[in-house]
Amino acid sequence: MSFRDNLQHLRATRNMTQEQLAMLVGVSRQSVTKWEAEKAYPEMDKLLKICQIFDCTLDELVQGDLTARQHEEALAVPADSLASDVMGYDEHSQDFAKRLACGVAMCILGMAVGATMSEWLGDGFATLGFFGCVGIGLLLIIPAALEDSAFKKAHPYVADFYTDEQRIAAKKAFGLRLTAGIGCILCGLIFGAFADQMGLAGPVEGLFFVAIAAGIGLIVYAGVLDSRMDVEAYNISALEELSEEDIASIVGEERAPVVLEKVRTSKRIGTVSGVIMLLATAIALPLMFWATSSGNTFWTQYFWLPWMVGGILCGVASLIIEAQGK
């Protein structure tokens, strides 16, 4: 029995189309068509992934006879599978957004804990509380980023399954979350502006950072959830770590030149943005510690401004690089 016959039958037992299998394996639909027409043969990593999908061994898939396998109703792909997201892309994106937003908020919340504990318990406990919150934040951010990277490697191509109604709903939710985030930050600025006048510098500074942390967390959450709707941007980002030959095999020879240029542009944007944010961090962190040790009230509250400026510069740099690439 041939590999082609086994593959075609296995797809049939799951009600799976060529495009759906291509999404799960991480190749173009044209590649699956060539496999089943015996005009090409998948690479070893793709064969192993097919074995995982259909729960069979490599020998069974390549040299055995799997055409006697019965229809697997429990594992069958629904007829509207593209709309139901067979790879769990949407669920993964929402989980990543929550963990990233909470992690960022916890890092900023460390300043609230530090400000409050410094006033009531002394600098030693304040430092401990600060680094404790930052540590919790990093424990949320780093694993989430690693899992996101692993997901992209496992699924370098996702067909766009979102409906127009889902996109409209996502835009409305983005606007509400963004407005709420900005509102939290404005409340925090009000707390900070009246901190000295109220004579409660420590507690009010704590409220200031709590509001800032909540606002930035909401904005990060809103931004990541909104970006998940741009499936093409995800595909470009996921393809960045692959070779040009692998990219061509996934998207097809006809689309390869356009996609490769988008991948190169995305890499340039990522590099420039990374440098900008590293510089912003190199300014903001020493500024924060200097302001805390010297008692400078203004910079203690606004140490995060270099990151905000860095984010704006990243946006400007992205627009310039994209314009040059067109």
What is the domain-level CATH number for residue 18? 1.10.260.40
Tokens 């990233």 correspond to what residue?
A: 100
Nearest to 300 by CA among 223, 149, 184, 195: 195
Looking at the fold, whether 105 and 235 belong to one and the same domain comes out as yes
Classify residue 244: in a domain, yes or no: no
At residue 213, the pLDDT reads 87
Looking at the fold, whether 51 and 145 belong to one and the same domain comes out as no
Looking at the fold, whether 112 and 233 belong to one and the same domain comes out as yes
Burial class (CB in 10 A: 0-12, 13-18, 19+), 140: buried
User: Tell me, what DSSP letter sits at residue 76?
Assistant: P
Residue 280 pLDDT > 80, yes or no?
yes
Distance CA 7, CA 28 (A): 16
Classify residue 70: in a domain, yes or no: no
Could you say which of 239, 267, 282 is where a domain stops? 239
Question: Could you give the number of structural domains in the chain?
Answer: 3
Minimum mean pLDDT range among 103-112, 118-127, 210-219, 229-238: 118-127
Quote the mean pLDDT of the chain: 80
User: Tell me, what DSSP letter sits at residue 156?
Assistant: S
Looking at the fold, whether 206 and 254 belong to one and the same domain comes out as no
Classify residue 68: in a domain, yes or no: no
- Find the domain containing 294 and state its range: 249-326
Looking at the fold, whether 106 and 185 belong to one and the same domain comes out as yes
- Predicted model pTM: 0.69
Classify residue 69: in a domain, yes or no: no
Classify residue 120: in a domain, yes or no: yes
Classify residue 82: in a domain, yes or no: no
Mean pLDDT of 298-318: 79
At residue 147, the pLDDT reads 93
Classify residue 10: in a domain, yes or no: yes
Looking at the fold, whether 225 and 257 belong to one and the same domain comes out as no
Residue 31 pLDDT > 90, yes or no?
no
Looking at the fold, whether 273 and 201 belong to one and the same domain comes out as no
Mean pLDDT of 211-227: 90
Q: Do residues 142 and 107 lie in contact, with contact meaning Cβ atoms separated by under 8 Å?
A: no
Burial class (CB in 10 A: 0-12, 13-18, 19+), 252: middle
DSSP H helices in the chain: 3-13, 18-25, 29-36, 44-54, 58-62, 81-84, 89-120, 123-154, 164-193, 195-198, 201-227, 231-239, 244-251, 256-294, 297-302, 305-325
Mean pLDDT of 38-43: 83
Mean pLDDT of 67-91: 67
Looking at the fold, whether 49 and 108 belong to one and the same domain comes out as no
Nearest to 240 by CA among 221, 261, 223, 254: 261
Looking at the fold, whether 228 and 258 belong to one and the same domain comes out as no
Of 25 and 222, the structure prediction assigns the larger pLDDT to: 222
Take residue 100 and report the two structure tokens written for it: 């990233």
Residue-by-residue DSSP string for 6-37:
HHHHHHHHTT--HHHHHHHHTS-HHHHHHHHT
Residue 117 pLDDT > 80, yes or no?
no
Looking at the fold, whether 203 and 155 belong to one and the same domain comes out as yes
Distance CA 275, CA 220 (A): 20
Looking at the fold, whether 6 and 109 belong to one and the same domain comes out as no
Residue 82 pLDDT > 50, yes or no?
no
What 3-state DSSP class applies to 228? coil
Looking at the fold, whether 46 and 164 belong to one and the same domain comes out as no
Classify residue 72: in a domain, yes or no: no
Tokens 């963990």 correspond to what residue?
A: 99
Of 122 and 282, the structure prediction assigns the larger pLDDT to: 282
State the Cα angle at 32 between 31 and 34, rounded to 5°.
65
Distance CA 215, CA 220 (A): 9
